[in-house]
Structure 1
Amino acid sequence: MSDVSTPATPPRSLAERAYDEIRRMIIRLELAPGDVVSETELGAALDMSRTPIREALQRLARDHFVTVIPRRGMFVSAIDVEELSMLYETRAILEPYTARLAARRGTADDWAEMAEVLDETSVPGRQPVELIELDRRCHEIIWRAAGNRFLTSTLDALYAQSDRLWHMYLADVADMREAVDEHASIHDAFERGDADLVAQLVEEHVISFDTQVRAAVASRLDAPLAQQG
């Protein structure tokens, strides 16, 4: 357990708020792959000046959510199916390692907060999109408990790409209840302080998501209409 107090989270800048909002729009497919990205339109939608919007888009370009094509403009990046393996093999390495750190450094308050999030998943009528948001909150608690901002930054970007894939391929068909149940087992292992089991369960959780996405992508690509395109 860590006895180091966690500093208060500083207020987010306009550029950070713009980044979060635009990334959310991309993840939720409000801005779909290939869409033109307009600083003017985003500024109007978010009620912000061009400066924070431009800073946010520069960061989104570094994180591969938007692509700048010289003399043509900026576009929402496509997701290259061939890069799926790199995305998930990276998460499958970093997420278990981060979970091990969290098992050593996390506090009872962290796991109580995770239990509260899991309780929210049992509310009747929860929609899949709500469940994946709760899944993300569980991951964020683990990242925070690990106490490594570099890992948190990297995993946040990787999870966002996974979230985007879920909205593209699984939102209408995936059973998020299974993922929630996996988090319940992970939470129990954290409470017992079993770092080895935590790492194993987190790795299996990431691999399970990868398997679902791969199956959905393969099904989409093998569909008759896709073959005719």
Structure 2
Amino acid sequence: MPATPTQATTSSMADRAYDLLRDRLVLLEIAPTHPIHEPALAEELNVGRTPIREALKRLETDHLVVSYPRRGTFATAVDFHELNQISEIRQVLEPMAAHNAAANKDPEIRAELAEYLKKIDSLDESMDQRSLLLLDVHIHRLIYRASANKHLEETLVRLDNLVTRIWCLVIDQMPPIAEHIIEHSALLRAILDGDGTKAAQLVSAHVAHFEQALRKAP
């Protein structure tokens, strides 16, 4: 049966709550292990309790929140020791996504990739830290979507969220964010050129370089 207008509205509000809360959790604006107060969030985001609960269920699947009976819901802790396992998987899947993205001829996807390339090439280093972090996250998510494999996309988005949380934990000890983002320029060009082999090689090197920088930070 098609969704009723009320169901569609609730779903839309849940999606909005999910997107907003996910970014806050990924950027550690909701601190690790911090309790999630549903009534306060519902009021702040101007949505009902039901959309908040639906969003939190999805975020628990993403390993960004955890719920305990009779205790409530909390932001998950950031475990630096997970970096090795996350990077091991990303080294396999990120090149696959980049290779697939290079084969994607969808004009809308290509237009989005080209637009992000323009943003990188005209990067304003005076951008605030949050805007730069979100730019990096959105570039990654677009490449994953361009892979045209929803299972690959979902897995990589979840892993990128987790590694970004680790990044935010030590960001003051890391190289400037803009330097990291500029590395995506050659990658996006390779994807737009349809060079899947080069795109895969570039993203593999990018993941390795980023992991090394993180390990030097603590």
Do they fold alike, i.e. is TM over 0.5? yes
In structure 1, what residue type is equivalent to 2:167? W
Q: Matched residue of 1:105: which SS?
A: coil
8 Å contact kept, 1:111–1:187: no
8 Å Cα contact 2:66-2:73 kept in structure 1 = yes
CA distance in 1, matches of 2:179, 2:110: 20
Q: For residues 26-65 of structure 1, what are the structure 2 equivalents within 5 Å?
A: 26-65=25-64
Distance in 1 of aligned mates of 2:162 and 2:89: 12
Percent of aligned positions with the same letter in both sequences? Answer: 38
Tell me, in whole angstroms, the C-alpha distance in 1 between the residues paired with 2:154 and 2:39: 28
State whether structure 2 residue 82 is matched by structure 1 residue 99.
no
| Residue matched to 1:224 | none
Instruction: State the one-letter code of the partner of 1:181.
Output: I
Most deviating of 72-81 and 116-125: 116-125
Q: 1:160-192: per-residue Cα shift (whole Å, max 9, x none)?
A: 122222222115643223323321111222233
Letter in 1 for 2:130: V
Q: In the alignment, is residue 150 of structure 1 matched against residue 142 of structure 2?
A: no
In structure 1, the gaps of 5 or more residues are 1-9, 220-229
Q: Aligned residue for 1:4?
A: none
Secondary structure of the residue that 1:74 maps to in structure 2?
Answer: strand
3-state secondary structure, aligned to 1:13: helix
Contact 2:98 2:196 (8 Å CA) reproduced: yes
Say which is worse superposed, 15-24 or 127-136, in terms of deviation: 127-136
Separation in 2, partners of 1:106, 1:132:
28
Name the aligned partner's letter for residue 45 of structure 2. L
SS at match of 2:103: helix
CA contact (8 A) 2:113 2:188 kept: yes
SS at match of 1:200: helix
Instruction: Establish whether residue 189 from structure 1 lines up as the match of residue 199 from structure 2.
Output: no
Question: Corresponding residue for 1:119?
Answer: 118
Mark the CA change 1:194 to 1:123 in structure 2 (over 3 Å): closer, same or farther.
Answer: closer
Alpha-carbon distance, 1:76 to partner? 0.9
SS in 1 for 2:36: coil
Match of 2:208 in 1: 207
For the 8 Å contact 2:116–2:139, the answer to whether it is kept is yes
Deviation at 1:123, TM superposition (A): 4.0
Residue 78 of structure 2 corresponds to: 79
Deviation at 1:67, TM superposition (A): 1.4
Distance 2:215 2:97 in 1: 24
Q: Could you give the per-residue CA deviations for residues 73-103 of structure 1, whole angstroms, max 9, x where no partner exists?
A: 2211101222111112122211110111111
Check 1:106–1:170 CA distance in 2 against 1; reply closer, same or farther (3 A cut).
farther
Please report how far the alpha carbon of residue 46 of structure 1 lies from its aligned counterpart in structure 2 after TM superposition: 0.9
Query: What TM-score comes out, normalization by structure 1 length?
Result: 0.81
Range with greater deviation from structure 2 (129-138 or 14-23): 129-138
User: Contact conserved, 2:79 with 2:166, CA < 8 A, in 1?
Assistant: no
Contact preservation (8 Å) 1:37, 1:74: yes
Distance 1:107 1:48 in 2: 35
Q: Secondary structure at the match of 1:75?
A: strand
**Alignment-derived partner of residue 4 in structure 2:** none
Indicate the RMSD between aligned Cα atoms, in angstroms.
Answer: 2.3
